Amino acid sequence: MPPSPSLPHALVTGASSGIGTDIAREYARRGKPLVLTARRLDRLEALAAELGKQVPCTVLAADLADPAAPEALFAQTLGRGIFVDTLVNNAGFGVPGRYLSADWKTHADSIQVLLTSVAHLTHLYLPAMEAAGRGRILNVASLAGLVPATAGHTLYGATKAWLIRFSETLDQESRGRGVYVTALCPGMTYTEFHDVNGMREKVSKLPKGIWLTSAEVARQGVEAVESGRVRLVTGRSNKLIAGLSKYLPDALARALLASKAKDFRDAD
C-alpha cells in the first residue's frame, strides 16, 4: 500500500526487531499508517512489505547513534508531507559488563540512542502534535528504571530511569494540549536484544513465568498510550518486583536484587 501523506502516521524507532516490530504490527492492526525506522534497511523493507497490505508504510533507515539522525528523520517526514501524531521511541542499545569494560565511544553511542535521540525527536515532533491538539508519545523504558541499581550494564538502568521521569513530566506539560505520553516498562521480554548483547545464556536460566512475548508487551504498550496511561509495568511478576522495590527499605531492596543480578547481568 503506497504512503498517504495526508493521514496521521505513527513513527516507530527500532522497528526492525523485537518490541518495535510488534508495536508497528499492533498499530497496523488498528489501521494506523506507519513510518518505520531503524539501521537495518532489509528488515524494515520486509516489515513494510508485510504491513503494507494493511496500512501505508514509509521506510526511513537511520542510525540514532548519529547525532544528526533525528534532524534528518524529521526533515524527511516533513519533506514528504507526513504528519506524525504518534511517536514511538523504542530504539535500544545494551552495553554488557562493568562500566570500564567498554570504551567511551560505545557508552556515548548508548547515551545518544537511549537518551539524547529520544529528547531530540520529541522536541522535533511535539510542536505539531500540540498545534493539532492531539498526539501520542510512547517511550519504551524498562523495569530496570524502577528497581535498585545492580552491577553491570551501568548506563542502561540510569537512562531508563531518566526516560520514565522525562515521560511523566512531559505528560503533565502536554496532556492539556491533547498529547498523552506513556513510559512503557517491560521486564524480561522474548526478543533478540539478549542475543545482541551476549546475555542469552544467562537470562535463559531465569524462570519462564517472568517472561512476556514482545507481541504482548507491544499490545499493552499501545493500549496504555492510547488510553492515556502515564506509566505501565507489564506482567504480574514485574509489577510485584516494582512494588517491592518501592516499598522495601532501600538497603534491603538493593541487597535482594544484587543477590540475583548475576542471573541476568554481566558485571565482569
Q: What is the dihedral of CA 38, 217, 171, 39, to 10 degrees?
A: -10
Contact 93, 114 (CB under 8 A): yes
The kind and range of the H/E element at 49 are helix 41-51
Residue 185 phi, psi dihedral angles, 5° rounding: -120, 80
Give CA angle at 266 (242, 220), nearest 5°: 35
| 156 annotated active-site | yes
Helix (H, G, I), strand (E, B) or coil at 137: strand
Contact 261, 202 (CB under 8 A): no
Position 264: which residue type? F
The span from the CA of 148 to the CA of 41, in Å, is: 37
- Find the catalytic residue in 125, 156, 190, 247: 156
The span from the CA of 199 to the CA of 201, in Å, is: 6
Q: What is the dihedral of CA 126, 130, 135, 137, to 10 degrees?
A: 30
* All cell numbers assigned to 115: 537518551
Residue positions annotated with a catalytic role? 156
